[in-house]
Amino acid sequence: MWRTNVAILAVTVGVIGFYTAVAHLIPQLQSEVPAAVSLGSGASTEELVAAGEQVFNQVCTACHGLGTRAPNLLTDHAGQGPIGQRCAAALGERCKDYLHRSLLSPGDSLLSGFQNIMPVMTTQLDGDQIWAVVAFLQSQGGEVTVSGSDLEAAGGGEGAAGTAPGAAVSAPAGGTTDPRQLLTQNACLGCHPIDGAGPPIGPSFDGMGRRLTAERIRRAILFPSADTAQGFAQFAGMMPQTFGTQLSAAQLEAIVQFLAGRR
């Protein structure tokens, strides 16, 4: 019987060893935690680009490096060159804001032929990481215009990177309290229609004052997941949770009063 036992043991260990060997023969890819970025306002362009490349490789390549699910950003797309080149050619100075908005509100910048599958990146990355990725994308054939001041505005250097998702996202450029400008800068119009136009991913801003009180609107901006508007259940969870830290009190009130007044 001992021979049988040895044979059974040999078969068992042999089979396990075979599978283990196969697993070691294939490429070894580890899924890293997105690299923390804490460069601060004095960060150089090279530092920003290097940090962005690291984050991009860890978070973005699964889709943007393979070219079938999402536009390939590092190589040519539709004969227009890599992302930095084509973005700069099409948008010039506005390229930086476009790329930034694409990460905060991806559905807003959807290219034809691709589905709206990209998550809002504030759920994965903090403000500094997002700006670093923007710098890296600009460096792909274009001029990098992201600077340390962008990070500073995003709450950079506070050491929150990689630990507090969504806690330190960028503040809108400038301290404007113009509600329309704020709605544009914060990519609200990427989901909420206004003046009868725009994608109906979130409830329309038209007539919002008739439907909701100022208090409800304020709560909906600060805690978007607390309530879901009727008919928008399929988009629940899409709205960033970060406006409480992103907007100043004056900016928040400007938006609330503007929307409450739209009857």
Which residues of the shown chain bind another protein in the complex (CB under 8 A)? 1, 4, 7-8, 11-13, 15-17, 19-20, 22-24, 26-34, 61-63, 65-69, 74-75, 115, 117-119, 123-124, 126, 155, 158-160, 163-168, 223, 225-226, 228, 236-237, 241, 244-245
Q: Which two tokens stand for residue 226?
A: 């607390």
We find the least distance from the C-beta atom of residue 78 to another protein, in angstroms, to be 15
The torsion angles phi and psi of 216, rounded to 5 degrees, stand at -65, -40
Residue closer to another protein by CB (options 124, 204) is 124
Residue closer to another protein by CB (options 32, 195) is 32
Instruction: Say whether 168 sits in a helix, a strand or coil.
Output: coil
Which residues are CB-neighbours of 18 under 8 A, at least 6 positions away? none
CB 105 within 8 A of CB 187: yes
Residue closer to another protein by CB (options 154, 260) is 154
We find the least distance from the C-beta atom of residue 28 to another protein, in angstroms, to be 4
We find the least distance from the C-beta atom of residue 229 to another protein, in angstroms, to be 13
HSE of 88 in the Cβ direction (CA atoms, 13 Å)? 17
We find the least distance from the C-beta atom of residue 215 to another protein, in angstroms, to be 19
Residue closer to another protein by CB (options 75, 149) is 75
Q: Which two tokens stand for residue 247?
A: 């907007």
Residue closer to another protein by CB (options 126, 198) is 126
We find the least distance from the C-beta atom of residue 236 to another protein, in angstroms, to be 4
Q: Residue 213: left (phi > 0), alpha (psi -120 to 50), or beta?
A: beta
Amino acid at 171: A
From 170, 88, 76, select the one nearest 121 (Cα to Cα): 170
**Tokens 């503040």, located at residue:** 171
